[in-house]
Amino acid sequence: MIVKLHLKKEIHVPVDAESISPDVFAGKLVEEIAELPLWKGNRKVPLKDVFGVEGISGKVTNELVIHIDGNLSKVQRIGSGMTDGEIRIAGDVGMHLGVEMKGGKITVEGNVGSWLGSSMKGGTIEVNKDAGDYIGAPYRGSTEGMRGGTITIHGNAGTEAGRYMKKGLIRIDGDVDQFVGIHLKKGAILVRGNADGRAGAFMTGGKIIICGHLKSLLPTFTIDSMKSKAKVEEEIIKEPFYLFIGDLAEHGSGKLYLAKNKNKHLETHEKLLQ
């Protein structure tokens, strides 16, 4: 069962599309879906004003695939709280994609805005290009970070990926901005590219693996040992790593793996191991 949405024309003011979710679509006819409410700026409009709708909807959430195309970079909150089913986005998409997602799958061909999968509890999100800031992170004031699920970014990511994460996995194939894994409690973050610094600030537990260069290591981490490999779920990365523990300013015991070959500036720490 596939429901296809396509953006009718370029939008100027932001569109809040919380109702685009397999959970909401399930059991509705295409005509009913077309009438679902969206916020366009401060106006409530039916979905059909913004999107063309076609296809066949299903009764059951997990059989439902929603395919969306057009420049969605100002469309927010798609797949919010979804529990099952699938959303495929053909191009770029805006902020808050899959917030508080509990299950199902979201794939994005293009770039995605900030707060991707905020406080998500389960399911998978895969982004082919870049992601914005605050991947999986809770909103201002909250410490309810990601509790489960997997987020994979094939491009680069912004700042504070995985803030307050408690469980789950974030994989970033490209580079990350500052503060990756800030306040990390548990769970794992794998960065295959470089990191801009301050990785693991305030972390108390969990694991961050950086296979590229880390611009600078916080002074509140202590070297623990050298490792010949790093492991995240089933995946094993076979190359030498420094293992640092921190953030000591928080009495933390988080693990920060930094690839030895890409981080010559950390060599001085090696003498502390002897």
Partner 1 sequence: MTLVKNVTCPICGTLCDDLEVEVEENSIVDVRNACAIGEAKFLNFTDPKHRNLKPLVRKGGELTEVSLDEAVERSAQILAHAQYPILYGWSCTSCQAIRVGIELAEEVGGVIDNTSTVCHGPSILSIQSVGIPTCTLGQVRHRADLVVYWASDPYSAHPRHIERYTSFSDGRFQESEWEHYVTRLRGVLGKKRLSRASARISMREVSIPPIADPKLPPEFETEKRKLIVVDVRKTRSAEIADFFIQVEPNRDFELLQALRLLVKDEELEVDKVAGVPVDLLEEFADILISCNFGIFFFGVGLTMSSGKHRNIDAAIALTKDLNYRTKFAIMPMRGHFNVAGANIVSTWQTGYPFAVDFSHGYPRYNPGETSAVDILQRDESDASLIIASDPVSNFPRNAAQNLVKNPMITIDPVVSPTTMMADVVIPSAFVGIEVEGTAYRMDCVPLPMKKIVEPPKICLPDEEILRRILLQVRQIRQTGGKA
Partner 2 sequence: MKELLIKNGFVYDPLNKIDGETMDIAVRDGKIVEEVKKGKTIDASGMVVMPGGVDIHSHIAGAKVNSGRLLRPEDHYKDVELKTVLTRSGVGYSIPSTFTTGYRYSRMGWTTVMEPAMPPLKAKHTHEELNDTPMVDKGAYPLLGSNWFVLEYLRAKMYGECAAFVAWMMNATKGYAIKLVNPGGLEAWGFGRNVRDIDDPVPNFDITPREIIQGLCKVNQILNLPHTIHVHINNLGKPGNYVTTLETMRCVENLATDNKPIMHLTHCQFSAFAGEDWRTFKSASEEIAEYVNSHSHVTLDMGQIVFTNTTTMTADGPFQFTLYQITGNKWVNNDVETETSSGIVPFQYKRKNYVHATQWTIGLELALQIKDPWKILLTTDHPNAGPFTAYPKVITWLMSRKARDDVMKKVNKKTRRKAPLSAIDREYSLYEIAIATRAGQAKALGLESKGHLGVGADADISVYNLDPKKTNLADNPEAITKAFKKAAYTIKDGEIVVRDGEVVNSVNGRTYWVKVETQANLFEIEPELKRAFEKYYTVKYENYLVPQNFSAHQTPVTAKARIKS
**Sites of contact with partner 2 (CB under 8 A):** 138-142, 144
For the bound state, the minimum distance from the C-beta of residue 143 to partner 2, rounded and expressed in Å, comes to 8
Question: Footprint of partner 1 on residues 153-182 (CB under 8 A)?
Answer: 178-179, 182
- 178 interface partner picked from partner 2, partner 1, none, CB below 5 to 8 A per type: partner 1
Residue of 21, 68, 74, 185 that binds partner 1 (CB under 8 A): 74
Nearer to partner 1 by C-beta: 227 or 269? 269
Cα angle, residue 241 at apex, residues 239 and 243 outer, rounded to 5°: 155
Residue of 13, 56, 60, 273 that binds partner 1 (CB under 8 A): 13
In the stretch 109-148, what mask flags binding to partner 1 with x, by CB under 8 A?
-----xx-----------------xx----xxx-------
At 48, give phi and psi (nearest 5°). Answer: -65, -20
For the bound state, the minimum distance from the C-beta of residue 141 to partner 2, rounded and expressed in Å, comes to 4
Task: Walk across the sheet containing 15-16 and list its strands.
Answer: 43-46, 37-40, 15-16, 75-76
Report if residue 219 touches partner 1, rule: CB under 8 A: yes
Cα 48 to Cα 153: distance, rounded to the nearest angstrom = 31
Cα 224 to Cα 246: distance, rounded to the nearest angstrom = 10
Nearer to partner 1 by C-beta: 12 or 238? 12
| Among 120, 183, 185, residue whose Cα is nearest residue 152 | 120
CB 101 within 8 A of CB 77: no
Cα 109 to Cα 139: distance, rounded to the nearest angstrom = 25
Question: Footprint of partner 1 on residues 35-64 (CB under 8 A)?
Answer: 39-43
- Contact residues for 9 (Cβ-Cβ < 8 A; gap 6+): none
Q: Helix H segments across the chain?
A: 22-25, 30-34, 47-50, 267-270
Report if residue 261 touches partner 1, rule: CB under 8 A: no
Nearer to partner 2 by C-beta: 119 or 150? 119
Positions that interact with partner 1 (CB under 8 A): 12-14, 16, 39-43, 73-74, 95-96, 114-115, 133-134, 139-141, 178-179, 182, 198, 201-202, 216, 218-220, 222-223, 247-249, 269, 272
